[in-house]
Amino acid sequence: MLKKIILRIFILILVSGITLLSLINGSWSVIKGQLSEVKVWIQQTTENRQGTTDKRPAGLQVDKSQATEVETLLATAEEDLFAKAGVQKFNEKIEAPDFTLKNLERQDVSLKEFRGKLVFLNFWATWCGPCRVEKPTIEKLYQEFKEKGLIVLAISVDQGDSAHLVQSYMEEHKLSYQALLDPEQRVAKAYAVKGIPITYLIDQEGFIIGAAMGARLWDKDEPRKLIAHLLEKSEK
């Protein structure tokens, strides 16, 4: 009987010692686990914003400072993706000006038709040398992500009756994404286009989230990672 009592006391001291040691040393595994739980909780809260069920992990007391830290880390990671892709990230919400232009089939196409999709809005012209360089890479990007919700709208600023010219260009370079005609550069002015090529990224809610002035090789790893991230983000 005495042995059992001594054994229980020994176990209690051992457990208490381990707990105290963990608190003193700030065990990274514990901290890491808590941060993971906080991240999960933030995601669940966002996904179930309209619901009433509290899916907080059992025993977790959410610390607002920890939640803010995780959100900051996620935002920093996203900014890094934009920077590596050569795209200027817009931190303020700027609603993309709506427009209606003719496509090569003389049909009206409006930006608002693509609400809920990630829109890659590219201003270009058939006479533009840098545009000629980036056009095939946009096609590769489009082919990779079109089934996942990427929309490419290539707005030509060629003046005059340019439909035949643009059609020939698209066929020559085997470009399958949609080309729109802005001969009076009305939409280009609305988007403050001063030079071409320039590309705007418009999110699923219709806000401009980034811009790239000048040609880019859009089929490289960095731009592809950015587009993949933006498409996956919309699904969460």
pLDDT at 20: 32
Query: Structure pTM?
Result: 0.70
Q: How big, in percent rounded to 5, are the helix, strand and coil portions of the chain?
A: 50, 20, 30
88, containing H or E segment:
strand 88-95
Tokens of 138: 């946009």
Q: So what's the pLDDT on residue 21? A: 33
Residues of the chain with pLDDT under 70: 1-75, 236
Length of the chain: 236
What is the reported pLDDT for 75? Answer: 66
Q: In this structure, are residues 168 and 192 in contact, taking their beta carbons and an 8 Å threshold?
A: no
DSSP strand pairing (207-213 vs 198-202): antiparallel
Task: Say which DSSP state 180 is in.
Answer: E
Q: What is the pLDDT of residue 36?
A: 42
Token pair listed for 108 = 């009206």
What's residue 14's pLDDT?
A: 38
Give the separation between CA 57 and CA 49, rounded to whole angstroms.
Answer: 16
Q: Are 85 and 225 in contact (CB under 8 A)?
A: yes
Opening angle at CA 55, ends 53 and 56, nearest 5: 130
Output the six-digit token pair for 115: 């609400």
Q: Where are the domains of the chain?
A: 2-51, 83-235
- CATH fit for domain 83-235, picks 3.40.1190.10, 3.40.30.10, 3.40.50.2030, 3.40.50.1970: 3.40.30.10
